[in-house]
Amino acid sequence: MAAAALLALSTCAMSASAFVIQSSPMHNLHRVASPPSLVSSSGRLHQIAMAPRLHGRTNGHSLGVAMLAGAGASVVKHQQSSPARLGPHIKIGKKGAILNPWGLWVLTYSMILAFAGYLYLKVRQALSFLFLGRLKPTAEHCCWIMHSWCKIVLSIGFSAPEVEGLENLPPKDETVLVAANHMSWFDVPVLHGFLAGRLLWSFAKAELVKVPVLGTYMQTAEHILISRESRKSQLESLKSAIKTLSLSRNVFIFPEGTRSLDGKLRHFKGGAFTIARKSGVKIVPVTLIGNDVVFPANALMPLCPGRGIMKMVVHPAIDPEGKTDEELMEETRVAIASALPAEKVAS
């Protein structure tokens, strides 16, 4: 259980703890319980909201590798959705998180790779002490390790997504804010591993620094940490996001504020667009498709390979200059929704 919980955290890394910003009327300012905020160009207040807890979901697909996944081989289109053939499986914990043979295989090799990366960081840190800091791993170096880990884990698991629209990315030396839809723990590894080699930073719960392996990575990579209980920490995280962008570090965020329980694109919160406007960086809308089929919310690990199911579509970047937060929000949502079937867009 400890190993499974650790990998679940490392697989979703910042996704499990992604903090997002949502809009609320100005009159909510007087409430003590309201989190700190930024005021948008149109006078609306943007509040930080935590990603909520896991919820059950039963949709999924089977694809190949029957001897491990216990699933019948089938070819699946990106827009299809049908109940998963789980094969032999167990349910873990009070919420009955599903783990089948395929998920156990992914859990095993992912943990091995995660600990290999952890030991590498520790060796570099020890050598840095001996050689007066010369070999100390930088935040960029650590983020590259995460990028490599995500790409390797998904590739070994036959889950490298089909990628479309990479030509829409601005030049690699231009800092961007990536905004994507969110419906699976696999969303973060896909973004980290397959966005043309771009290194990404994100929001993360401050409590994660206490988790072995993951905590070392979070601190060394200098991700944007935030405390659930501290209003001051929440406000500082917004400033940290702007500062991170100013250091030429790309940031990604899920504007919906939570994983979609049914895979549908939900309404966006406003704070991500305030950050983009204040930073002056372009927003890169990204549509993720099929990740929730492979790794649904009711699963501890992926249920089947993602090849032929998972897809990522990169849309043209949106320049925030001269636009309000609301205009940026609408443009981004329209772009992301354009690659989804109509039934996957909430009205």
| Domain extents in the chain | 101-339
For residue 137, what are the CA distances in angstroms to 10, 73, 121, 200, 201? Answer: 19, 43, 7, 17, 16
For the chain, strand residue ranges (E) read: 19-24, 37-39, 45-50, 59-60, 82-83, 90-92, 97-99, 162-164, 176-180, 200-201, 203-205, 224-226, 250-253, 282-289, 311-314
When pLDDT is averaged across residues 113-137 and rounded to a whole number, the result is: 85
pLDDT bucket at 49, cuts 50 / 70 / 90: very low
pLDDT at 238: 81
| pLDDT (tens digit per residue) in 135-151 | 888 899 899 999 999 99
Q: For the domain 101-339, what is the CATH code?
A: 3.40.1130.10
Report, as an integer, the average pLDDT of 244-272: 90
Contact assessment for residue 60 and residue 296, using Cβ atoms and an 8 Å cutoff? yes
Other Cβ atoms closer than 10 A to 129: 10
Tokens (6 digits) for 110: 């992912």
Pairwise pLDDT comparison (106 vs 262), residue with the higher score: 106
**How far apart are alpha carbons 112 and 102 in whole angstroms?**
16
Dist CA 295 CA 341 (whole Å): 20
CA dihedral angle for residue 172, residue 175, residue 177, residue 183, rounded to 10 degrees: 40
Residue 228 confidence (pLDDT) = 63
pLDDT at 37: 40
- Model confidence at 65: pLDDT above 60: no
Average pLDDT of every residue of the chain: 78
Tens-digit pLDDT profile for residues 188-232: 999 999 999 999 998 877 887 888 888 888 888 998 887 767 777
Residue 338 has pLDDT above 90, yes or no: yes
Asked if residue 48 has pLDDT above 50, the reply is no
pLDDT at 28: 36
pTM of this prediction? 0.76
Check whether 50 has a pLDDT greater than 60: no
pLDDT of 270 over the 80 cut: yes
